[in-house]
Homo-oligomer: A and B are copies of this chain.
């Protein structure tokens, strides 16, 4: 049996950073999703394995905590492992470590498998997944319930475009993150840094769908957010700054 822990590397190249030279939450998220896909495929429950059973992985929740932001050109090591699967869900963790050995980011994700036609969750083969379960610390809070804000604040309109779509023809998980972050004023990015970003995916965005993006500062530097279609949330998020 191959290792439980997945290890991969990437370089903090200039095309992975924002205008401040910081890795962005969506870029970190994309690295996690990629590492998750590679890790799962190498262990017999990847995209192609699931497809043969007519099911697909869907990301249900993700929480990312940034302790610091690495320098440009740094070599980053990405660790991913399975915390456990039960019933309809499996939990996967991530850690990012700089070349100086500093652990600067942890993330947690919760996944379900849905049937390709019914789009309904199917029970997981928890035995196969839990064979790779690893008891490794991921010292951040699990993703939890995010209060609705869509009835409290006006949303900004957005219509789903070609570049937003993933291979399944749905608004891709990373684009949700981008559209949420684009609601913040640019000044906030220069004054503060995101310490925690949490997202709960609730429904699939489709091409041409008219969305509204809502954001409310619920506590100082803590925002609750939602993306809605026809008044109903398709995703909720919570963003903390410091």
| Interface of A toward B, CB cutoff 8 Å | 13-15, 17-19, 21, 24, 26, 30, 33-34, 37, 47-48, 72-73, 161-163, 165-169, 172, 178-179, 181-182, 184, 186, 189, 207-208
CB closest chain-B residue, reference A162:
B182
CA distance A172 to B14 in the complex (A): 11
A169 with B19, Cβ < 8 A, contacts A163-B182, A182-B162 known? yes
Q: How far is the CB of A168 from chain B (nearest CB, A)?
A: 7
Partner of A167, one of B19, B163, B167, B184: B19
Known A-B contacts: A14-B166, A14-B167. Give 19 more (CB < 8 A): A14-B37, A15-B33, A15-B34, A15-B37, A15-B166, A15-B172, A18-B167, A19-B162, A19-B166, A19-B167, A19-B169, A21-B167, A24-B163, A72-B167, A162-B181, A162-B184, A163-B181, A163-B182, A186-B208
A19 with B168, Cβ < 8 A, contacts A13-B34, A162-B182, A189-B162 known? yes
